[in-house]
Chains A and B, each alone.
Chain A
């Protein structure tokens, strides 16, 4: 009886590890999609309404969806410190404090590059900087979707198979 319970626990544990990996890939896809949508709103607000950055961050913290909303909420919490801290520093801190974004180094780089130029240039410059960030994130999203499609079954099967292997070898 103990062996059966032990086997179930081991297989359940390794399956959970596999499932967590699948969920992480799923969350990354959702995070990237929500960030791309938010940046597209940001681009329109800047280009067509000239919305200043503090109001824009506030707007996105209320309207963005998914993990990007948490990121913009974190930006808003610090935006009153503009002057004591640069916008880039506030942006960086919010990225660091939003683990929900499931950032890999490449998308983190794209967002940091955007943060470095945000609010600094004329409309044309802002529009191009945001469009560039969006195109980089779209490429990463495409890769993440492909990876998810290819790897999720593998992780699921491997999770269960690893548990079975441990059970067979040790129990």
Chain B
């Protein structure tokens, strides 16, 4: 008998009718599923490496209703919606195990800022997994000398999984490389999946985690207070993040980060990343293949900027 997969755990968040249908997925699909998708008025589906697939219970599809989404949110927040309002405002909730629930609905905008999401229309439950050794190709490139690394891939290709394994191996030491003191800015709680002060994901023995804080502030706080040799964060997206990266780099700290893009050309045309590349902070660029196989290509150096 197979042990309970992350998929089996996550479908417990669904109302009984959807849960029963989701349980009909094959064992292989349960193992490979990257997301569970609920869209109001549409069939329940899962995202597999090859694409999205509607789920049926013995051939019978099930349609998602608005109250199903409310049920998921109530369970995901453990009947404590107020505790998640700040992240709901940003469009997601992170739950135990580091799994992320992405949300879509009607935004409540006050003074030009989104203050809440109401009348939810769709939910994507992203299944977080720890894959040991996925960063091994990078360590072969490092050859005992780690240097700042930017992981580049479109959404859903395994950036966070790769970052988590990199952090773990750097923190524990790997091969000829001595253990590094890692400061991890885990804004969305997906990398370490903290619960009660304990990481639920293995991020290594020498990792200090600042959970839930905006990246830029978190990186500067870690820099000032925890004396890291490496600073790690997920998804550099704003000017503030780039500023924090620049500050850290000027303090002699190595960096580990991820960015949304399919390739360097895409990265170069976006102003935030142009600035980042001009800083020449990153020495290694790791590209993940978009097919969900965690195929990895590593480049040393980077584009030339004056």
Q: Are B85 and A123 in contact (CB under 8 A)?
A: yes
Proximity bits, A40-54, B CB within 8 Å = 1, else 0? 000000100011111
Cβ of A119 within 8 Å of any chain B Cβ, yes or no, is: yes
Cβ of A87 within 8 Å of any chain B Cβ, yes or no, is: yes
- Out of A46, A54, A86, A126, name the residue touching B78 (CB < 8 Å): A54
**Distance, CA A126 to CA B81, complexed state (A):** 10
- Out of B13, B80, B116, name the residue touching A119 (CB < 8 Å): B80
**Distance, CA A22 to CA B13, complexed state (A):** 49
- Out of B74, B75, B77, B82, name the residue touching A46 (CB < 8 Å): B82
Chain B residues, CB < 8 A from A83: 12-13, 75
Chain B count of residues within 8 A CB distance of the other chain: 13
Q: Which residue of B lies closest to A87 (CB)?
A: B79
Chain B residues, CB < 8 A from A167: none
Q: Are A119 and B85 in contact (CB under 8 A)?
A: no
Name, among A56, A83, A86, the residue most crowded by chain B CB atoms within 10 Å (CB to CB): A83
Interface residue ranges of A23-72 to B (CB < 8 Å): 46, 50-54, 56
- Out of A51, A82, A122, name the residue touching B81 (CB < 8 Å): A122
Chain A count of residues within 8 A CB distance of the other chain: 19
Name, among B77, B82, B83, the residue most crowded by chain A CB atoms within 10 Å (CB to CB): B82
Name, among A52, A54, A125, the residue most crowded by chain B CB atoms within 10 Å (CB to CB): A52
**Distance, CA A46 to CA B80, complexed state (A):** 9
- Out of B12, B13, B81, name the residue touching A120 (CB < 8 Å): B81
Distance between A168 CB and nearest chain B CB, rounded to angstroms: 60
- Out of B12, B13, B80, B85, name the residue touching A53 (CB < 8 Å): B80
Interface residue ranges of A113-149 to B (CB < 8 Å): 118-123, 125-126
Chain B residues, CB < 8 A from A118: 79
Chain A residues, CB < 8 A from B79: 52-54, 82, 86-87, 118-120
Distance between A87 CB and nearest chain B CB, rounded to angstroms: 4
Interface residue ranges of B233-268 to A (CB < 8 Å): none
**Distance, CA A86 to CA B13, complexed state (A):** 13
Q: Are B85 and A52 in contact (CB under 8 A)?
A: no
- Out of B74, B75, B82, name the residue touching A122 (CB < 8 Å): B82
Proximity bits, B59-86, A CB within 8 Å = 1, else 0? 0000000000000001101111111010
Q: Which residue of A lies closest to B115 (CB)?
A: A122
Q: Are A122 and B85 in contact (CB under 8 A)?
A: yes
Q: Which residue of B lies closest to A123 (CB)?
A: B82
Q: Are A52 and B78 in contact (CB under 8 A)?
A: yes
A residues within 8 Å of B by Cβ? 46, 50-54, 56, 82-83, 86-87, 118-123, 125-126
A-B contact pairs, 20 of them (CB 8 A): A50-B80, A50-B82, A52-B77, A53-B78, A53-B80, A54-B80, A82-B75, A83-B13, A83-B75, A86-B74, A86-B79, A87-B74, A87-B79, A118-B79, A119-B74, A119-B77, A119-B80, A122-B81, A122-B82, A123-B82
Beyond A82-B75, A119-B78, list 12 extra A-B contacts (CB 8 Å): A51-B83, A52-B78, A52-B83, A53-B79, A82-B79, A83-B13, A83-B75, A86-B74, A86-B79, A120-B79, A122-B81, A125-B82
Nearest 3 pairs of A and B residues by beta carbon: A119-B79, A52-B80, A87-B79
